[in-house]
């Protein structure tokens, strides 16, 4: 029998699990969260980004479980737009420096409260949105003040599966993780 309890669950307090259990929307920054935060440019000046496949499947599992996913980023990037389209993420807000205002605009159309929002960011432009949300999540390579303000800091760095860890936290707290994993376990013993 396979144990479907995430190994990092021992670091999840009852308060954190209660906050994660209430989440109906997760909003994410891109650079430093969905990517490693470094900017890559080709010799011709084209921007390149690397996205972690683990994060993508985690976001798809969240959406399958009824959690809305949004991306709010200060930069504009055709690569980000392509990746979010490929993942089926319904809400992409690019070029938004005031991420809290962007988040508030988004949720004003959704009939949810701040306690039902998770926000994941890594730097100062993310801080107001992270503090507004009921569950603020960051990464170990995030800015120290953001780490200090977050409810949870993932065990892995941004761009290396941190979003997947946040997805697992939410799904586990809502007793939905096993159901999202089960289709992959058929035939496993």
* Residue pLDDT, tens place only, 113-146: 999 999 999 999 999 999 999 999 999 999 999 9
Q: Give the separation between CA 173 and CA 32, rounded to whole angstroms.
A: 25
Within-domain flag for 4:
no
Within-domain flag for 2:
no
CATH number of the domain bearing residue 130: 3.40.50.1000
46 is in an annotated binding site: no
* Alpha helix stretches (DSSP H) within the chain: 14-21, 53-64, 78-87, 99-107, 127-132, 144-149, 162-173, 177-185
Within-domain flag for 189:
no
29 is in an annotated binding site: yes
86 is in an annotated binding site: no
Q: Give the separation between CA 70 and CA 91, rounded to whole angstroms.
A: 5
Q: What is the mean pLDDT of residues 157-181?
A: 96
Who's near 83: CB < 8 A, 6+ residues apart?
34, 49, 51, 56
Within-domain flag for 103:
yes
Residue 167 sits in which domain range? 12-180
pLDDT at 180: 93
In the chain, what's the furthest Cα-to-Cα distance?
52
Within-domain flag for 57:
yes
pLDDT bucket at 37, cuts 50 / 70 / 90 = confident
Q: How many domains does the chain have?
A: 1
pTM of the model: 0.93
Within-domain flag for 162:
yes
Within-domain flag for 135:
yes
């Amino acid at each position: 029998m396979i144990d479907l309890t995430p190994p990092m669950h021992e670091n999840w307090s009852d308060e954190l699990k209660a906050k994660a259990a209430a989440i109906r929307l997760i909003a994410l920054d891109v650079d430093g969260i969905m990517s490693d935060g470094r900017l890559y440019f080709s010799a011709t000046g084209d921007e390149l980004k690397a996205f972690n496949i683990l994060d993508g499947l985690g976001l798809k599992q969240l959406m399958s479980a009824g959690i809305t996913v949004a991306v709010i980023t200060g930069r504009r990037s055709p690569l980000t737009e392509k990746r979010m389209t490929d993942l089926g993420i319904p809400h992409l807000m690019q070029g938004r420096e005031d991420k809290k205002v962007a988040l508030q605009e988004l949720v004003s159309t959704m009939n949810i409260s701040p306690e039902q929002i998770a926000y994941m960011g890594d730097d100062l432009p993310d801080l107001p949105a992270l503090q507004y949300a009921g569950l603020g999540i960051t990464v170990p390579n995030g800015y120290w003040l953001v780490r200090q303000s977050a409810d949870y800091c993932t065990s892995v760095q941004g761009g290396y599966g941190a979003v997947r860890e946040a997805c697992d936290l939410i799904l586990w707290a809502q007793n939905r993780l096993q159901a999202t994993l089960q289709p992959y376990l058929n035939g496993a013993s």
